[in-house]
Every structure is written in C-alpha cells, then in structure tokens.
C-alpha cells in the first residue's frame, strides 16, 4: 500500500510551517522523502510533548521506527518512512540518537555545560540533517554540514522557547553559562529580561549564527534541494532576527514568522541555491 502523502504533508503543515515551506522546493520524489522523515521525527517529538506524552508513548513510537526499518510498517507514517528507507540509505543510528534526546525531554531538563547543549541539539535535530543528507544527495562532508545546520536550528528553537520550556520544567540554558553571565533561575521564573540575560542570549545567538554559517557551506555539495535547505535556514535565522529586535524577550512571548515573511525569503533562498550551484560547477 502506498503512503498517504496528503496525510503526511498535513503533519508538516500542522507542526512546522518552516519545514513545510522549505520542502516544497524539493523535486517531487525527494519531497516525499522529506515529508516521510519529518513526519516520523515529529511524531517522536509528540511522544514527549503531546497530550499523551510519556515513556510508553515514546516506546510505541520507537516500535514504529523498528517496523519501518524491518519493512513491516503498520501506521501511515511508518509506511512513509519505509518507502523512504527503500530508496535512500537513511542511517538507523540517527533515529537511535534522536531517541536518546527525546528521553532527556521526558524528565526535568537541566544541562550543565555548553557541550551538553550542543549534544542535545545534535540528538534531536542534527540527526534530522543526517537523515535528510542521503535524500538531498552528497557525501560525508555534506552530512557533517547538515548536522551543524540541524544544531543551529534547534539552538534557535531553544532561544525562541525559553519561557515556554520553563513552564515544562525544561531549562536548556547550561548552568555554566547561567553562572558565567550572572543569570539566576529566579530571574527566569520571574520573567525578568535583565542586561545579563540579554548578554547570555546574544552569546548563544552568535553561536547559532556560526553554526548556520558553517552548515550552509554544505549547500554546494547537495544534488537536489539547495533552495529547500536555504529557505528553511533563512526562516530560522529570521526568527533570530526577531528575537534580537525584541530585546530577547522570550520569557513572555514567542518569536514567529508570518506567512508573508516566509514568502519574502523565497528570492533570497533562490539566489543562495544558484550561488551554490555555480560553486559546484567551478
């Protein structure tokens, strides 16, 4: 039975407009692969964030991943993933590492070091880069750049959602950075945007920008989807722009893009993809 692509596309549209808009710039077959991978990843995220989240839900998701890899899918998203696995060498290890990151989200989250933060960003998003790299085409260096891009996007999510995550007893801001910049848990809980907090946010924003810079160097190595990847990255970077312009007020509100703002980035994504294509030819 063929996957229901409309159903999988709805998962994208409902949970990530950023990824959905970017996926439309893939050729038809690769677009389906992107939808299949993202739907699988997103439903894993729902197992730790959704209404019925918990260890049992996460294990049920993992069993679905196992069935897809064994060629015996049951659910619609499993059929989509199995379809993609039959066409591209998507590493199971990436899903295993993602599962580790999701497990972290089940309990109260407290990270100690910046290294732990980057590891988490790899587990829940850099792994998506690893899964997408075979679909877009490219060698080992492309995969490494895709991981950096995924980490950049997750770090952007974390900066956008500090207040929302705090309400879920998740603090992804590492203790060593909170101490270095003089930010207390009490300040976070009170929603106080202090100069010290703004300095911390500016530092983490600069780290995300560096990851985007390095990750986007992989565009020229992609066989297809340069525009799709460029558009997704531009949208996430635009969220960072909005966050900075708000004075890093992410404890009481959530930076987001309007549909017209996403469309506005299309010409820039096209120019980036053209530049990457010229670099490949040279």
Residue 85: predicted pLDDT: 98
Query: Residue 249: which residues within 8 A CB-CB, separation 6 or more?
Result: 193
How confident is the prediction for the chain on average, in pLDDT? 94
Rounded CA-CA distance 58/64 in Å is: 10
Q: Are strands 170-171 and 109-110 parallel, antiparallel or unpaired?
A: parallel
pLDDT at residue 63 tops 90: yes
Tell whether the model's pLDDT for residue 163 goes beyond 90: yes
Is 281 a residue whose pLDDT tops 70?
no
Rounded Cα–Cα distance for residues 204 and 156 (Å): 9
Rounded to a whole number, what is the distance in angstroms from the first to the last CA of the chain? 44
One DSSP character per residue, 7-49 reads HHHHHHHHH-HHHHHHHTTS-HHHHHHHHHHHHHHHHHHHHHH
Q: Which long-range contacts (CB under 8 A, 24 or more apart) does 95-101 make?
A: 95/40, 95/65, 95/127, 95/131, 97/122, 97/123, 97/127, 98/41, 98/44, 98/123, 98/124, 98/127, 98/128, 99/44, 99/58, 99/62, 99/65, 101/127
For residue 144, give both structure tokens.
């490494």
3-state secondary structure of 110: strand
The CA distances from residue 82 to 1, 23, 92, 140, 276, in Å, are 11, 19, 12, 23, 31
Residues 6 or more apart whose Cβ sits within 8 Å of residue 233: 149, 152, 153, 212, 215, 216
Q: Which pLDDT tens digit goes with each residue over 189-237?
A: 999 999 999 999 999 999 999 999 999 999 999 999 999 999 999 999 9
Domain 5-269: give its CATH code.
1.10.600.10
Instruction: Scan for tokens 């015996």, then name that residue.
Output: 72
Spatial distance between the Cα atoms of 56 and 19, rounded to a whole number of angstroms: 27
- Give the mean pLDDT of 254-265: 90
> Phi first, then psi: what are they for 89, rounded to 5°?
-80, 70
Torsion over CA: 249, 254, 260, 264 (sign)? positive
pLDDT at 15: 78
Return the domain boundaries, the chain.
5-269
The values of phi and psi at residue 109, to 5°, are -100, 125
| Under 8 Å between Cβ of 22 and 232 | yes
Confidence of residue 21 (pLDDT cuts 50, 70, 90): confident
- What pLDDT digit, counting tens, does each position of 137-158 carry? 988 999 999 999 999 999 999 9
């Amino acid at each position: 039975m063929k996957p229901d692509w409309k159903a999988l596309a709805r998962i994208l549209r409902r949970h990530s407009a950023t990824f959905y808009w970017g996926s439309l710039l893939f050729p038809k077959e690769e677009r389906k692969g992107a939808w299949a991978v993202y739907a699988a990843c997103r439903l894993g995220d729902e197992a730790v964030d959704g209404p019925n989240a918990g260890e049992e839900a996460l294990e049920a998701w993992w069993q679905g991943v196992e069935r897809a890899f064994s060629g015996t899918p049951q659910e619609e998203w499993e059929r989509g993933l199995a379809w993609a696995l039959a066409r591209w060498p998507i590493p199971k290890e990436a899903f295993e590492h993602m599962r580790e990151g999701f497990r972290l989200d089940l309990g109260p989250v407290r990270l100690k070091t910046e290294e732990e933060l980057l590891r988490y960003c790899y587990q829940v998003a850099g792994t998506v880069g690893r899964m997408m790299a075979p679909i877009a085409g490219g060698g080992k260096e492309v995969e490494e750049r895709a991981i950096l891009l995924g980490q950049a996007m997750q770090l952007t999510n974390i900066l956008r959602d500090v207040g929302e995550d705090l309400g879920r007893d998740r603090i992804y801001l590492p203790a060593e950075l909170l101490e270095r910049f003089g930010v207390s848990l009490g300040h976070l809980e009170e929603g106080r945007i202090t100069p010290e907090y703004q300095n911390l946010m500016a530092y983490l924003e600069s780290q995300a920008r560096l990851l985007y810079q390095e990750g986007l160097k992989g565009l020229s190595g992609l066989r297809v989807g340069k525009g799709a990847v460029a558009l997704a990255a531009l949208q996430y970077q635009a969220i960072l722009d909005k966050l900075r312009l708000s004075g890093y007020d992410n404890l009481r509100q959530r930076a987001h893009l309007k549909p017209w703002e996403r469309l506005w980035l299309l010409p820039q994504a096209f120019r980036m993809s053209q530049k990457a294509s010229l670099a490949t030819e040279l």
